[in-house]
Amino acid sequence: MKKRLPIIVFTAVLLCACNEHWVTDLGPFIKDATVRLEIDGERTFVYDAADCQLAFNAQRMEFRAHTDTMLDYFILDADSIPSKVGDKVNASISWSSPSGEKSRTNITLYTKRIQGDIIWLCDQGYKNAVVVRVLE
């Protein structure tokens, strides 16, 4: 048993350390109002006003962000537009990557913060996180 204890402890520490890098850290996430998409804890797309554009379609409940060249983008298709913290949104996300378009469907996102026209959404496991802007 004494020989197994260090192995068990090492494995537990390793699993905890690895798990940290695959999720979004909610504290910094809700403090930054930059429109962006985070997948598995990595910033997949970050909006920059100098070379990006935003689009919002209220009828289709669709948020889009893309570069001026339209090579890099993300699209969030939602079943509703949240109006308060805690609201649930069923959604699909698609985004560009070096290996082509990727997507995740049937995701339940929870509203973590709303400030003006900016909405912070994140799934329960913090694997999918997105900041969108409602354009009027």
Q: Please name which of 63, 115, 54 lies closest in space to residue 89, comparing C-alpha atoms.
A: 63
Q: How far is CA 90 from the centre of its chain?
A: 13
- What tens digit of pLDDT does each residue of 45-101 get? 999 999 999 999 999 999 999 999 999 999 999 999 999 999 999 999 999 999 999
What SS3 state is found at 5? helix
Name the pTM for this structure. Answer: 0.84
What residues form DSSP beta bridges with 64? 55, 75
Domain residue spans of the chain: 4-133
What is the identity of the amino acid at 135?
A: L
pLDDT above 50 for 17: no
Q: How far apart are CA 125 and CA 44, in angstroms?
A: 17
What SS3 state is found at 2? coil
Q: How far apart are CA 96 and CA 103, in angstroms?
A: 9
Average pLDDT rounded to a whole number, residues 105-113? 98
What residues form DSSP beta bridges with 53? 66
- Phi, then psi, of 97 in degrees rounded to 5: -145, 165
* Count of alpha carbons within 13 angstroms of residue 21, beta-carbon side: 4
pLDDT of residue 22: 86
